[in-house]
Amino acid sequence: MTAAKTLVCFTLFFFAHLTNAQSLTFTKDDTLRGSITPQRAWWDLTFYHLKVKVNPADKSISGSNEIQYTVLYPGNVLQIDLQPPLHLERAEQDGQILEATQQGRNAYFIALKKEQPKGSRQSLTVWYSGIPQAARNAPWDGGFSWEVEDAGQPFIATSCQGLGASVWWPCKDHAYDEPDSQAISVTVPNDLTDVSNGRLRRVTNNGDGTHTFDWFVANPINNYGVNVNIARYAHIADTFQGEKGLLSLDYYVLPQNLEKAKLQFQQVKLMLTAFEHWFGPYPFYEDGYKLVQVPYLGMEHQSSVTYGNRFMNGYLGRDLSGTGWGMKWDYIIVHESGHEWFANNITYRDIADMWIHEGFTNYSEALYTEYYFGKQAGTDYIKGLRGIIRNTSPIVGTHGVNSEGSPDMYPKGANLLHTIRQIVDDDEKWRSILRGLNRDFYHQTVYGTQVEDYITQHSGKKLQKVFDQYLRNSSIPILEYTIKKGRLKYHWVNCIDGFDMPVKVTLSPGKNEFIYPTTKWKSSRCKLPNKDDFQVEESFYVVARRL
């Protein structure tokens, strides 16, 4: 997901949400949605076949979802999530109608009749229909976007992170469990095209004024990444020679934008080159890479990345970092595609750890800038983002209740990663850690602590207090210091107990070297002729205060 339109309004939206969250007591619906309930835990999702018919005329949808799973241990009640005003009509297993009882606002418990032996593979189908929630502020507050493009034709799309995929299709609406593959069949009027995730297998004319697009995703996919995009699309095909061979590139835009897209989307290959360098091969060669124009800003839908940045550089023509570097590239192409690695390849198990997605992807913008414009440009970009960090609440949210953390997860998450890179103090090792994360957590869902542990182990650095400080607290450490008679005295304040982050400072003219402050005063020799020349290396996201 992109950082919001004007960070101010975004932050207001989020802070409103956050202040509530801080003071909010979570509801039964939050727990049903956000936790691995007993009715979810006993079965392992393996496959979905979602079939949906979209009726632009009355903004209704109807369809079914075939759900295949493996039994981990015997259970007889299975939870499926679907949000009103959509309605679950029927559930069947092996031709037997099953009773589905609504739990709270958004969940159904389906009572199974058949025995579910451990290790057995089972399948169940549910049918549903209704008028789905219309998006109020896509992609941040999603649902179905029912728009009309400037040639007067329907321009329809889905977005649903946070709100949940169950806003438009019945599924196991928790991030921890993904299908190993998924089929998506979308029926639309004959004069429109549907573009969804993965590869198009066939188009079937139904002889009733509609046709059906059968898409197939050959890889695990997070449910908020599943999407439909419907319009009179024009298509551009291309290829990229990447680390895993030839990668197909497909772009779907409104016909009136074809020439602009041909120009602007040349940045896709630049992005793939830079990100394969930093993160390893694009994670979905089997499904290809796509950019699909939609009536909202953009979103990281796997192998169907959506685009609404009006074919211009920056973030709708502006640079969020204020340094000018953000105007050198298209924010949506770079940011949303960065999510193919951090969000779609490595996915949070709980939305409370959404920094795994947004912190790394915000950081990927700086790495893209560094790749093409040099290391200093990357550093300037990341420093520029500090202006939009609020530090009013922690980046990590509340687990088990579908509650994400502070929007600082973007710029502060990125600055945390850049700070850790300085502590690692070995750029090749740092790159191998970023590539290693994508190799060793390939197509997995993970907790934030697993990522923290991985970086700690592979860097060989003590980082626990660093992660605790920047992820679970909202104050920024202050390095308090004095310089007297050639001695630098220093300690950390405004931080958690035991905070012990090493930091690079100038102890002699033009030379940065590590000191190892703690919350207790320490001292080191300082050969600076002028105290004002003392500084902390700029890539560390800390504050320095001379007493």
CB 363, min distance to Zn ion, A:
11
| CB of 361 or CB of 459, closer to Zn ion | 361
| Residue 1 is a binding residue for Zn ion (CB under 5 A) | yes
CB 354, min distance to Zn ion, A:
9
Q: Which stretch binds Zn ion (CB under 5 A): 1-9, 92-100, 130-138, 517-525?
A: 1-9
Residues paired with residue 68 on neighbouring β-strands, in sequence order:
47, 123
| CB of 284 or CB of 342, closer to Zn ion | 342
- Cβ neighbors of 167 (< 8 A, separation 6 or more) are 83, 86, 132, 133, 142, 143, 160
| CB of 162 or CB of 170, closer to Zn ion | 162
Residues 209-268, interacting with Zn ion (CB under 5 A): none
CA distance 125 to 24: 36
| CB of 346 or CB of 526, closer to Zn ion | 346
Residues 37-76, interacting with Zn ion (CB under 5 A): none
The CA-based angle 155-159-161, given to 5 degrees, is: 170
CB 421, min distance to Zn ion, A:
20
The site string for Zn ion over 480-519 (x = CB under 5 A, - otherwise) reads ----------------------------------------
Main-chain dihedrals φ then ψ at residue 100, nearest 5 degrees: -120, 120
| CB of 1 or CB of 271, closer to Zn ion | 1
**What is the per-residue DSSP string for 352-418?**
GGTHHHHHHHHHHHHHHHHHHH-HHHHHHHHHHGGGG---SS-SS-BTTTTB---GGGTHHHHHHHH
CA distance 105 to 31: 12
End-to-end CA distance of the chain: 42
CB 1, min distance to Zn ion, A:
4
CB 347, min distance to Zn ion, A:
13
CB 404, min distance to Zn ion, A:
12
Give the distance from CA 466 to its chain's centroid: 23
CB 335, min distance to Zn ion, A:
6
CB 418, min distance to Zn ion, A:
17
* Residue of closest CB approach to Zn ion: 1
The site string for Zn ion over 332-371 (x = CB under 5 A, - otherwise) reads --------------------------x--x----------
| CB of 170 or CB of 308, closer to Zn ion | 308
- Cβ neighbors of 445 (< 8 A, separation 6 or more) are 175, 176, 177, 178, 222, 347, 348, 349
The site string for Zn ion over 70-89 (x = CB under 5 A, - otherwise) reads --------------------
CB 384, min distance to Zn ion, A:
18
By CB under 5 A, the count of residues binding Zn ion is 3
- What is the token pair recorded at 260? 């602009």
| CB of 126 or CB of 388, closer to Zn ion | 388
| CB of 1 or CB of 124, closer to Zn ion | 1
Burial of 218 (0-12, 13-18, 19+ CB in 10 A): middle
Strand order of the β-sheet with 487-493 is: 522-525, 487-493, 478-484, 543-546
Residues paired with residue 309 on neighbouring β-strands, in sequence order:
none
| CB of 187 or CB of 361, closer to Zn ion | 361
CA distance 390 to 15: 10
CB 339, min distance to Zn ion, A:
6
| CB of 125 or CB of 337, closer to Zn ion | 337
Cβ-contact 448, 478 below 8 angstroms: no
Cβ-contact 217, 195 below 8 angstroms: no
Question: Contact residues for Zn ion (CB under 5 A)?
Answer: 1, 358, 361
